[in-house]
Structure 1
């Protein structure tokens, strides 16, 4: 078990539906990752942008992007995660893929599809949360619009960190900032949010605000606006346990199940 978990959040512009171009861009950025980083987090649909044309760019779980993630994880000896457009049979998924340093995979399919953009018309929603262990840390991954639904992220399994990867647009960035802090406070958990920058093919603007927040809602790191940047933060398990033991807010949570 590691008492500290160092995470690198990759905030960058995403080239529209250009898988090879985006992977090349990440290759360059990852050269600047600190040696002691344990986990690299990429944005939502990091290889394509938030496209509603999955038929143009969907991949399989043995496609270029997943293979690239596995190669990078092994090469750098670090875990790497981000969401991709994945096709299984006739269905498309906005899927978070987590790759361990040895290349092993876990995945989570986005539960809450963004109806305002028609994501629900193109993609199939996930039905199960994922909470997994990495270096003694229990991690719960979520994708973008999931952030607006606190019941889905409710900390009933005593996870240690919530990680959100997103394409969250500039006009609603105040909601991103506010809800990330709320999720940390209500779940007594670290929260890491990774967003993109730039303009997409629909001329929507994204201005980043990637950040990490402690279990009391205090910022422990954030990026500049509109800047391609790597945010490196250290999460402290001793601090987390001390805060939970002192306040014990999670002991008073309501008892109910989500179906």
Structure 2
């Protein structure tokens, strides 16, 4: 069935604490939160590694859990008639990935493996980095989903395909939250897109604090929504606003003509 396109995309950002290395508990928790959505939304966005927290011990997670969570995402997407996106610890061909899934209501899905593994935490030693960016065409919006540390690298986030939405699923800690805020705004301005960032709150088992700051910026970098507590944010994005800004201010026409080489 073809997706309806009305030039609007209503998204729900779920900002939450996480149960450390406990996929079952996290699926139960997020399932309950999603059940509380009492209006039609087009896209539900979950944080980075939403079933485990930002663990550097992927061997502690049963190898089947990634596939179990993918099936869970399919059921949620079908039940809510909404796409679901978020990243999980995923075991594939003897490697671990910080893998993001974008799951449509019909069960079809695309994956993106986090390119920039967080060397400060040793993520590069535990998880294999991805090499390909993903652009999703969903309900008339072109969406580029990325993961946490990717936010610090503007070339990887660069709008070379005229996408409409940059989306970051993250576990971004309190000491560097000013960078999160500044970079989300910058990515919106330089790419002339809606920029969406979903973070977690609370403290993890290794002592890192997370302040939330899940937020959405419009194509001019104006803040639309921001939260510092455990809650859900629901915002509607409007395609005409992107077109209006780009037609009036043709900054993307002057972008440098280069591509990232692998």
Within a 5 Å distance, the mapping from 1:23-34 to structure 2 comes to: 23-34=27-38
Please name the residue that 1:17 is paired with. 21
On the 8 A contact 2:19/2:26 being kept in 1, the answer is: yes
Offset at 1:60?
Answer: 4.8
Correspondent of 1:138 among 135, 138, 142: 142
Please name the residue that 1:164 is paired with. 168
* Structure 1 residue 127 corresponds to structure 2 residue 135: no
Unpaired stretches in structure 1, ≥5 consecutive residues: none
Please name the residue that 2:248 is paired with. 246
Offset at 1:63?
Answer: 2.2
CA RMSD of aligned residues (A): 1.1
Please name the residue that 1:110 is paired with. 114
Correspondent of 1:39 among 24, 39, 43: 43
Deviation by residue 1:119-173 (Cα, 9 ceiling, x = unmatched): 0000000001000101111000010000000000000000000000000000100
- Distance (whole Å) between structure 2 residues aligned to residue 56 and residue 151 of structure 1: 34
* TM-score, length-scaled by structure 1: 0.97
- Distance (whole Å) between structure 2 residues aligned to residue 61 and residue 129 of structure 1: 24
On the 8 A contact 1:9/1:42 being kept in 2, the answer is: yes
Deviation by residue 1:208-247 (Cα, 9 ceiling, x = unmatched): 0001100000011111x2x210011110101110000000
- Distance (whole Å) between structure 2 residues aligned to residue 122 and residue 213 of structure 1: 33
- Distance (whole Å) between structure 1 residues aligned to residue 66 and residue 20 of structure 2: 21
Unpaired stretches in structure 2, ≥5 consecutive residues: none
Structure 1 residue matching 2:178: 3-state secondary structure: helix
Alpha-carbon spacing, 1:238–1:89, altered in 2? closer, same or farther (3 Å): same
- Distance (whole Å) between structure 2 residues aligned to residue 255 and residue 194 of structure 1: 30
On the 8 A contact 1:58/1:85 being kept in 2, the answer is: no
* Structure 1 residue 191 corresponds to structure 2 residue 195: yes
- Distance (whole Å) between structure 2 residues aligned to residue 159 and residue 170 of structure 1: 30
Offset at 1:36?
Answer: 2.0
Structure 1 residue matching 2:195: 3-state secondary structure: strand
Offset at 1:61?
Answer: 8.2
Please name the residue that 2:258 is paired with. 256
- How many residue pairs match? The answer is 257
* TM-score, length-scaled by structure 2: 0.96
Please name the residue that 2:205 is paired with. 201
- Distance (whole Å) between structure 1 residues aligned to residue 62 and residue 48 of structure 2: 14
